[in-house]
Amino acid sequence: MAIALILLALVLCHLVARERFGRATSLLAVAGVGLGSPVLWLPFGPADSVAALRLAAGALAAWLWVRSARGTSTPAWGRAALGVAAGVLAAMPWTGGALGSGFSLTDALWSSRGGLLATSPAVYVGVLGWIALWRVDRAIATAGVALLAVTAALVSARVAWWTGAWPSPAAFLALTPYVVCGVAAFVDASARLAARRPVLTASALASVLVVWNVALMKVAQDRQYQLGDPVSFADLGAAQARALHGWIGHPASAPANLAFAIANGVRPGDYDILGPSRLLAGGESTGRLDIGTADGPFVGEGWYGPEQDGGTSFRWASRSAFLEVPLDHAADLVVQIDARPYQPPNAPPQQLTLVVNGVASGPLGLASGWHPAIVAVPRANWRSGVNHLELRFAYAARPADAGIPDGRALSASIDAISVRVAP
């Protein structure tokens, strides 16, 4: 049943695009969106009982709207309003759940946790294609933009919107016919540009090779590859992709990742994890960073590698260890640091000072063994976005000085850092 609804929806999307574009262009756009967007997840991804129905309803609503607009004298904005209403009606009966405070519109579109554009580059191409579509049919272009904004606002208002059964929120499926038209407009405009500016087109294609070579030079500079050594091109390509990501981040998360980087003083690629991992998001009153487990984006200088002690993951910290802690919003918070100090014989008790965005709290005495160190940090010390934390210890000591074969300068091992809103 689901496959039949998907095929019906794609046929209707083709018919909508055929109203303004040729058969070949429309078929290419349908194939691109069908295979390069969340539509592909419906038959092969986790089951979603209403997703295929929402897709078919949105496509049918768009087709009926476009058909009814033939030969009418209604202004473009009026036809666009009817298109948006049809799309919303197609999606809303199946959304379910109560609307309330949750995540931002930026999350819904660009987050790595299921943001529509970040996880579906084909949809991104279609949205960009609405610029070219404006010259062909302003009503369809306007309806697409408005429906995207309305749907994103509704989706972002739901708590834990990323918990859907597939990457992008299923409510966006009603947008598919407009995305197909956008891709068709993009293909049509690209073909016209290539015919008028063949040298520019060839230069753009050649620039891909330049980027490939520059990324290869970066990998070689980092000593991950040396000419003449045998190498798996899979590993080499992954290293080049990491180098490119380090420069510009995930291309389909732009411009949200660029704005995040500028606002928080981090790299664009840091947005992938730090942005959607904001503590206290979605109305939560607590948040936790597990040190030693998938904590790479959060830990900075002053940390040693992750270790395990039974079922406890942790990292040793030197005398000064830095963290990047993303917060959804500032609040009066109680910070708990689960720590175990390294205390050599005859050394004084270890002390910890927590520095939040340059403001110190403490010092706190650390008891021997695993114990929580708790400190209250006022709202004024926090900021919405990435907060720069420093764990500053009274001293560091080398186990080698006590006859233990470990030359590291250790202050304490840290298991987790938690925050909760102060009562």
Q: State the chain's maximal CA–CA distance in angstroms.
A: 91
Choose the weakest-confidence range: 32-36, 80-84, 256-260: 80-84
| Structural domains of the chain ordered from first start | 2-194 (no CATH), 197-271 (no CATH), 280-421 (2.60.120.260)
Mean pLDDT of 135-139: 88
CA-based nearest residue to 384, from 411, 413, 357:
357
Under a CB-based contact definition with an 8 Å cutoff, are residues 118 and 75 in contact?
no
Give the pLDDT of residue 164: 43
Please tell me which residue, 83 or 305, carries the higher pLDDT value: 305
Residues in the chain: 423
| Average pLDDT of the residues of the chain | 85
**DSSP, residue by residue, 295-354:** -TTTB-TTEEEEEEETTEEEEEE-SEEEEEEEESS---EEEEEEEEE---TTPPPPEEEE
Residue 333 has pLDDT above 50, yes or no: yes
CA-based nearest residue to 183, from 309, 53, 36:
36
Partners of 397 in beta bridges: 410
Residue 112 has pLDDT above 70, yes or no: yes
Highest mean pLDDT out of 204-213, 342-351, 384-393: 384-393
For residue 347, the number of C-alpha atoms closer than 13 Å in the C-beta half-sphere is: 21
pLDDT tier at 161, thresholds 50, 70, 90: very low
Give the pLDDT of residue 99: 37
Choose the weakest-confidence range: 23-27, 96-100, 367-371: 96-100
Mean pLDDT of 83-109: 59
Give the sign of the dihedral formed by CA 238, CA 240, CA 244, CA 247. positive
The structure's pTM equals 0.83
Dist CA 273 CA 420 (whole Å): 21
Residue 177 has pLDDT above 50, yes or no: yes
